[in-house]
Structure 1
Amino acid sequence: MANTTGGLVMLKEMLSSLPPSEKKIATYIISHPDETLSLTANELGKRSATSGAAVIRLCKSLNLKGFPELKLRLAGDLQKTTVEGIHDIKPNESATSIINKMTNNSILTLRETIELLSKEQLEKAVDVLINAERIHFIGVGASSIIAQDAQQKFLRINKTAYAFADIHMATTLVATAKANDVVVGISFSGETPEIAKVLEIANEKQAHTISLTKYGQSIVSDQAEIKLYTSATKEPTFRSAATLSRMAQLHVIDILFMCVASARYDETVKHIDETRKAVHYLKTGKK
C-alpha cells in the first residue's frame, strides 16, 4: 500500500532538479494543492501551461505510480495537523526554548522520513538482509557513526556485519564481496563520491546494494539496487554532527533491524538473550 502523505515534501525537494515543464507543474501544485485534488492530469497540464503527458512524467520523476498516487499523498498532506518548520537556535537561548525547538525539529524530520520511505523498497532491503552472508555498512564522517550503530545491532542477532571507519579498509573488504553479500551505502547528501564508488565495486561483484540518502536522485542512489530515503529537511545553520540527518538515518536503520528481527523472531530472541547474558557476565562475573 502506498504512503498517504509526503506529496508536498517530494515536490519541494525535487523542484530545483526537475525539467522545465515538470517544474512548472510542481510549482503550480505547491501553490494550489487543494485545487489540484479535483483536477485530471490533462486539466492540471492546461492550468500549468504544460500537458497531461508532462504531469505523468512528473509522477515518474517522483517515483510514484501515477497521478492518483500523487493526489492521494497531497490529500493526506492537507489533512495533517500543522507542525512548525525547522528552527535554528539563537544566542543565549533558554534551555526550555532549545528543548522545544529540538523536539519539534526531530518530530518533523521523522514524520517526513516515514512519508518518503517506500514500503516496497524497504521489504526488498529486509529480504536481502535476512539472506545475507555478510553485511557491509559504509559511511563517511557523521554517516560512519550510523554504519557503526547498524553493525552493532545486526551483530547482536548473529549476522556477520562490518562497519569500518577507514574507507580504504571498507573498500578492501567489499572488493571480495560475494553475490549473497549486502553493501549498504549511507550518505545524507547522496553525493559522497567514496560511497558511490564502493557501491559501484559491490555491483561489479554482483552483491546486493542498498543506498540510504536524502530524497532525490544522487550519485549514491544511482549505484544502488535498493533505494531508501530519509527526510531531505535542511539542517539548521548552527548544528552539531548533522543532528537531524543523523536522527533520520538512525530511524531507518532501527526500522530495518526490527523488520529483520521480526521476520526471524524466535532466532532473534535467542541471540539477544545470549548477547545480553555475555555482557552481564563481563559486568558482574556472574553467568
Structure 2
Amino acid sequence: MTYSLKETFPQGVRALRGAPGTPSGSATTPDPGALAAKVRTLAPSMTRSMQRVAEALAGDPAGCAHLTVTALAVRTGTSEATVVRTARLLGYPGYRDLRLALAALAAQQATGAPPAVTADIAVDDPLGDVVTKLALEEQQTLADTAAQLDMTQLEAAVGALAGARRIDVYGIGASGLVAQDLAQKLLRIGLIAHAHSDPHLAVTNAVQLRAGDVAVAVTHSGSTHDVVEPLRAAFDRGATTLAITGRPDGTVTQYADLVLTTSCSRESELRPAAMSSRTSQLLVVDCLFIGVAQRTYDEAAPALSASYEALAHRHAPRRRDGD
C-alpha cells in the first residue's frame, strides 16, 4: 500500500507553502493554546521593542486582551506599528485576531493550567533540583512544540516521505544526531533514507535529487549554512523540501516547501539551546515516523519485523560446532 503526495494534496506541495520566503502555514491563524509557545519560540529573533510587546502578551494575556492597540503600545513603550508587526509575526492577521486569542488563552489559564517553568539551573543547584528543573523544562518544550505544530504541514510532510523514491536528511552538530535518528527510523520501515552531516557530501548528494525525492533539513537556528545549502540545491532540482527548525523566519525556510516549527526553552549558561531544541526536534521526528508507518503499514510492518529479527539473531549467543 503506497501513497502519492499528489493524491493526498492534488494542488501540489509547493502550493501549500505560499510565496517564496514566507513561512509555511503562516496564513493559518494559530490556536490560542499555541500563543505562549510561539512567543517563547520567536522572542529571541525579535527586535527589543517587539520582545517587550511579546513579553506583555505572554505575561498578562487577560489584561492585554482588554487593551486597544494604542493602549498596548503605551503600556509597552512601543508604537502601534510595532504591536501590529508583533501580532503578524505571531501568526495573526491583525490585532483584533490577537486580542481574541489572548482572551481565549486567559480563559484556559483560569482553569488551572500550570505556569511555564523559567527558573534557570544554577551552578550550585543540588543534583535533585537539576533533575526536576530539566524534567519540567523538557515537558514545557514538548508541550510548546505540540501546540504550535501545523497539522496541514505535518500531514503533507508525512505524505511526501511515504511516497518518496529517496530521502536525504541534513543536520550538523546536535541537529545531525536528530537527522541520523530520522534516517535510521525510516530505513527500518523499508524506505531509502540517508543522513548527511558532512557538508560536502550533503551538497553532492542533494544535486542528484529530483521530483519524487524528499530532502529534510534539521536546524534550530534556521541559518546554518552547511544545512541551508544542500536544501537549496535539492529545492532547485525539484525535490520536495522540508525544514524542521525553531526559526520559521530563518533562511532555511526560503527553500522549504514545508516547515515544521520546533520550540526551545530559554538558553542559559548551563543549558545551551541545543539541549532543548534536540528534544523538540526528536518529537517532530517521532511524529513523522509514526505517520509514515501508518500510511505504509502493509510494507512497514514486515520491514520492522525483519529488522527486529535480524537484530535478535545478531545478539543471540553463538553455539560452537557440535554443541
TM norm. shorter chain > 0.5? yes
1:47-66 CA distance string (max 9 Å, x none): 43655x87665443223466
Q: Quote how far apart the aligned CAs of 1:74 are.
A: 6.0
Counterpart-to-counterpart distance in 2, 1:89 and 1:19: 28
Gapped regions of structure 2 (runs ≥ 5): 1-27, 319-323
Amino acid at match of 1:8: A
Q: 1:179 to 1:211 in 2, by over 3 A?
A: same
Deviates more, 1:140-149 or 1:234-243: 234-243
Partner residue of 2:104 out of 75, 82, 97: 75
Query: Mind listing any 5+ residue stretches in structure 1 that lack a counterpart?
Result: none
Match of 2:279 in 1: 247
Amino acid at match of 1:44: V
Q: Could you tell me how far apart the structure 2 residues matched to 1:245 and 1:284 are?
A: 37
Is the alpha carbon distance of 1:162 and 1:242 closer, same or farther for their aligned partners in structure 2, counting shifts above 3 Å?
A: same
Q: Is the 8 A contact 1:86 1:104 kept in 2?
A: no
Aligned residue type for 1:176: Q
CA drift of 1:250 comes to 0.8
* Percentage identity across paired residues of the two chains: 28
2:217 is matched with 185
- The answer to whether residue 69 in structure 2 is matched with residue 44 in structure 1 is yes
Match of 2:148 in 1: 116
Report the TM-score when normalising by structure 1. 0.84
Match status 1:272 vs 2:304:
yes
Please name the residue that 1:60 is paired with.
88
1:89-121 residue CA offsets vs partner (Å, 9 max, x unmatched): 424x43322221221121111111112211121
Partners of 2:140 and 2:257 lie apart in 1 by: 28
Offset at residue 86 of structure 1 (A): 4.8
From the superposition, tell whether residues 30 and 285 of structure 1 become closer, same or farther in structure 2 (CA, over 3 Å). Answer: closer
1:84 maps to 117
Task: Show the counterpart of 1:174.
Answer: 206
Task: In structure 2, give the amino acid aligned to 1:85.
Answer: T
Q: Which moved more, 1:179-188 or 1:71-80?
A: 71-80
C-alpha separation in 2, matches of 1:218 and 1:111? 22
Task: For 2:145 and 2:311, locate their aligned partners in 1 and report how far apart those are by CA, in whole Å.
Answer: 33
Q: Is the 8 A contact 1:186 1:213 kept in 2?
A: yes
CA RMSD of aligned residues (A): 3.0
Q: Is the 8 A contact 2:154 2:288 kept in 1?
A: yes
TM-score (norm 2): 0.76
Aligned to 2:126: 94
Match of 1:8 in 2: 36
Inter-CA distance 75–4: structure 2 relative to 1 (3 Å threshold)? same
Deviations 1:191-245 (A, max 9, x none): 2111111111111101111111114411122321111111132333124792211
C-alpha distance in structure 2 between counterparts of 1:90 and 1:25, whole Å: 31
Give the corresponding residue for 1:34: 62
